[in-house]
């Protein structure tokens, strides 16, 4: 085995969490995989893995090797897969990260259909509202909803436009009245989404003509989880700003009512992946699948 194969084994260990799982996925015995890892460490003269009885983790040198070696392995896999899998099933392991609410409400329900189309493919879906480091954490793909992407070290493809609208429960509006202007929001309880930058207490809205407005809002409840704010809105605690995909069924069923429907917040849904010369077939297949699904959505 050459050094690229050894690096591939090392990266697979990080992705799967154990030498045994990595060996099985590569068609090797655990003993052979362990021997190759030891050989790689001796060749490089550094320790790559911390090994305990409970877990395996990368050393600083291992993290650096994974960061720089993964693109080489991915490009090689993409090249060979593209040549040998033409007309065949997509295979391998696809590692995806997405925001909790979007992943739970939209991506998860689509996975059975996607996996049925690709029975030789494995998917690892990580749902978190933290922005994961795709390269160091070993992800093939992230799905992000944002108004702008700033990381030049990543490759992004817009999947769809995303519209966030204001909404509240009928009970809340009956009790406190519906705001008739943006200025009226100042006297209402607004449910605020938070991030590492703090609460989203300024809503940047656009009207039907494209004119933009920035409205200061406040309220008793803040959360970093969109589902928590949706639950609060359904319970009559205030006005929330939600993506249409998140609350479209609630509005159809009359559980929530659009507030000031002439105004919305414009964002976009992107697929984001590490820069590489060749896109692995498994990644390309999932991006194409998502874009096809989103082209048929009525909430866009």
Domain boundaries, the chain: 1-84, 163-266
Please report the pLDDT score of residue 139 as a whole number.
86
Q: pTM for this structure?
A: 0.69
Please report the pLDDT score of residue 201 as a whole number.
92
Please report the pLDDT score of residue 126 as a whole number.
93
Measured between alpha carbons, how far is 286 from 240 in angstroms, rounded to an integer? 31
Question: Which residues of the chain fall below pLDDT 50?
Answer: 1, 87
Q: What are the distances in angstroms from CA 230 to CA 99, 131, 167, 216, 221?
A: 15, 22, 9, 20, 11
* Both structure tokens of 237: 């605690």
Measured between alpha carbons, how far is 230 from 244 in angstroms, rounded to an integer? 12
**Domain 1-84 bears CATH identifier 1.10.10.10:** yes
Residue 120's φ and ψ, nearest 5 degrees, are: -95, 5
**What one-character-per-residue DSSP string does 149-174 give?**
---TTEEEEEEEEEEEEEEE-HHHHH
Sort strands 198-199 and 202-207 into parallel, antiparallel or unpaired: unpaired
Buried-state track 95-107, b at ≥16 Cβ within 10 A, e below 16: bbbbbbbbbebbb
The three-point CA angle 21-26-29 to 5° equals 65
Looking at 3.40.50.2000, 3.40.190.290, 2.40.160.20, 3.30.565.10, the CATH number of the domain 163-266 comes to 3.40.190.290
Please report the pLDDT score of residue 277 as a whole number.
60
Question: Residue 243 pairs with which residues in a beta bridge?
Answer: 164
Q: End-to-end alpha-carbon separation of the chain, Å?
A: 50
Matching residue, tokens 């897969």: 81
Measured between alpha carbons, how far is 29 from 21 in angstroms, rounded to an integer? 10
Measured between alpha carbons, how far is 187 from 170 in angstroms, rounded to an integer? 17
Buried-state track 18-54, b at ≥16 Cβ within 10 A, e below 16: ebeebbebbebeeeebbebbeebbeeeeeebbeeeee
225 close to 129: Cβ distance less than 8 angstroms: yes
Please report the pLDDT score of residue 12 as a whole number.
83
């Amino acid at each position: 085995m050459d050094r690229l194969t050894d690096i591939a084994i090392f990266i697979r260990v990080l992705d799967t969490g154990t030498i045994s799982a990595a060996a099985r996925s590569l068609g090797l015995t655990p003993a052979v995989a362990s021997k190759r890892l030891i050989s790689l460490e001796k060749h490089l003269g550094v320790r790559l893995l911390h090994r305990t009885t409970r877990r395996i983790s990368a050393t600083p040198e291992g993290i650096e090797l994974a960061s720089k070696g993964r693109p080489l392995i991915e490009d090689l896999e993409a090249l060979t897969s593209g040549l040998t899998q033409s007309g065949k099933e997509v295979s391998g392991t696809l590692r995806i990260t997405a925001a909790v609410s979007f992943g739970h409400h939209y991506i998860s329900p689509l996975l059975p259909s996607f996996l049925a189309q690709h029975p030789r493919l494995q998917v690892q879906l990580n749902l978190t509202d933290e922005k994961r480091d795709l390269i160091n954490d070993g992800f093939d793909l992230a799905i992000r909803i944002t108004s702008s992407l700033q990381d030049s070290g990543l490759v992004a493809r817009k999947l769809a436009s995303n519209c966030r609208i204001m909404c509240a429960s009928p009970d809340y509006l009956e009790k406190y009245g519906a705001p008739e202007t943006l200025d009226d929001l100042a006297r209402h309880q607004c449910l605020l989404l938070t991030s590492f930058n703090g609460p989203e207490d300024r809503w940047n809205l656009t009207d039907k003509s494209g004119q933009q407005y920035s409205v200061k809002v406040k309220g008793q409840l803040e959360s970093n989880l969109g589902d928590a704010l949706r639950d609060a809105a359904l319970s009559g605690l205030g006005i929330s700003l939600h993506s249409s995909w998140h609350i479209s069924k609630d509005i159809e069923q009359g559980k929530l009512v659009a507030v000031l429907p002439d105004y919305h917040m414009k964002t976009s849904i992107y697929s984001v992946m590490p820069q590489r010369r060749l896109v692995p077939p498994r990644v390309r297949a999932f991006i194409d699948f998502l874009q096809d699904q989103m082209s048929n959505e009525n909430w866009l």
